[in-house]
Amino acid sequence: MPTAQPSTPHPDYDFAVIGGGLTGMAIAWGLVRRGRRVVVLDEGDTAYRASRGNFALVWVQSKGQGMPEYALWTMASAQRWGEFAAALNEDTDLDVAFRQPGGLHLLLSEREVESRANALLRLHNQPGMQAFEYRMLDHDAVEKMLPQVGPEVAGASFCPFDGHVNALRTLRALHVAFARLGGRYRPNHAVERIEAHTGEFRLATAAGEIAAGRVVLAAGLGNARLAPMVGLEAPVRPQRGQIIVTEKVAPFMNHIVHTIRQTDEGSVMIADSWRRQATMPRSAARCSPWRHNAPCACCPCWRGSTWCAAGRRCA
């Protein structure tokens, strides 16, 4: 977060946050709660926003290989999510549906089970790593927790700290909370240039110039272009992903899976976000209780349901 040198000029805002997604709005809300004058500069609805197209997991297990500090940050975040959700609810009366039932990473062979167990062991054996609770489960143990599991699932890793949230409602709540506390949100203000002046930064936007004492870069992929303007480097790159969303069905999943979860509104989300094909990933199909677009008898609540992929609704 670049800081301009202090001087007599008084900028328009204490902070200019570039980016109105989940990260930018969370930072902006936190700052305005501390009495700072904050403006959020956003591209608006035309932006490619991961905050509106993500799997919405609060995931702990398996993070931090090669960087134990990341595992510590992840665990600390998961432990504070309940407090964060409660504060948003207090400020907005909106329930972001944060739940922490524990998560399963499903494995499709004994070889995958062994590989996963070894990977988690290596993760926890790193110097400086703070161990967190996890368990390796066989098929029968997984089936007790997730009766709809497919027959090809050999086992899973389980972590009780894994959770999920309604990401769209969280984004809405952050915007509402920020505005109620006096924050200024400026859509259609894509930042074109950032210049450091004595005591302030001046940001040239599509709708005029903004002056701020400090700048927060929270523009996602846009940070790659913006960071060099303030002497930083942000080597981010796009990664194409896919999420399949079904119609709403009665609740049937008590736990979340790394590629399948049921939202608080009833729809089921299926994802394997690092893949690039336009059809349902083979591994997700093998984990699920239905194949070839036809629900099977072990999950009757999906019978006749429809799902959408890449924005299309299918029968």
Are residues 146 and 112 part of one domain? yes
Are residues 244 and 155 part of one domain? yes
Are residues 159 and 276 part of one domain? yes
What type of residue is 300?
A: P
Q: Is residue 80 part of a domain?
A: no
Task: Give the helix, strand, coil percentages of the chain, each rounded to 5.
Answer: 30, 25, 45
The pLDDT of residue 4 is: 58
- For residue 143, what is the domain's CATH number? 3.30.9.10
The pLDDT of residue 75 is: 93
Measure CA 302 to chain center.
Answer: 26
| DSSP assigned state of 247 | P
The pLDDT of residue 295 is: 39
Q: Is residue 220 part of a domain?
A: yes
Distance of alpha carbon 69 from alpha carbon 47, whole angstroms: 31
Alpha helices in the chain (DSSP H): 22-33, 68-92, 110-124, 139-145, 167-180, 223-226, 282-287
Are residues 249 and 155 part of one domain? yes
Q: Is residue 79 part of a domain?
A: no
Q: Is residue 62 part of a domain?
A: no
Are residues 259 and 158 part of one domain? yes
* Domain stops at, among 189, 205, 230: 230
* Domain stops at, among 230, 263, 281: 230
Are residues 150 and 117 part of one domain? yes
Closest by CA to 290, choosing from 267, 310, 260, 312, is 260
Please state the domain count of the chain.
2
Q: Are 268 and 261 contacting, i.e. CB atoms less than 8 angstroms apart?
A: yes
What angle is formed at CA 290 by the lines to CA 289 and CA 292, rounded to 5 degrees?
A: 155
- For residue 28, what is the domain's CATH number? 3.50.50.60
The pLDDT of residue 311 is: 34
Are residues 155 and 113 part of one domain? yes
Are residues 174 and 36 part of one domain? yes
The pLDDT of residue 48 is: 72
* Domain stops at, among 212, 230, 248: 230
Are residues 306 and 246 part of one domain? yes
Q: Are 302 and 147 contacting, i.e. CB atoms less than 8 angstroms apart?
A: no
Enter the tokens of residue 47.
């932006």
Q: What residues contact 229, with CB distance under 8 A and at least 6 apart?
A: 193, 194, 195
Q: Is residue 87 part of a domain?
A: no
Q: Is residue 72 part of a domain?
A: no
| DSSP assigned state of 221 | G
The pLDDT of residue 11 is: 84
Q: Is residue 84 part of a domain?
A: no
Distance of alpha carbon 185 from alpha carbon 275, whole angstroms: 34
The pLDDT of residue 284 is: 53
Look up the domain containing 274 and give its range: 103-165+240-314
Are residues 218 and 118 part of one domain? no
Are residues 267 and 160 part of one domain? yes
Q: Is residue 3 part of a domain?
A: no
Are residues 172 and 298 part of one domain? no
pLDDT in tens, the chain (315 residues): 666 555 445 689 999 999 999 999 999 999 999 999 999 999 977 777 788 888 999 999 989 989 999 999 999 999 999 999 999 999 999 999 999 999 999 999 999 999 999 999 999 999 988 888 999 999 999 999 999 888 999 999 999 999 999 999 999 999 999 999 999 999 999 999 999 998 899 999 989 999 999 999 999 999 999 999 999 999 988 877 788 899 999 999 999 999 999 999 999 999 865 544 444 455 555 555 544 443 332 343 444 454 444 333 333
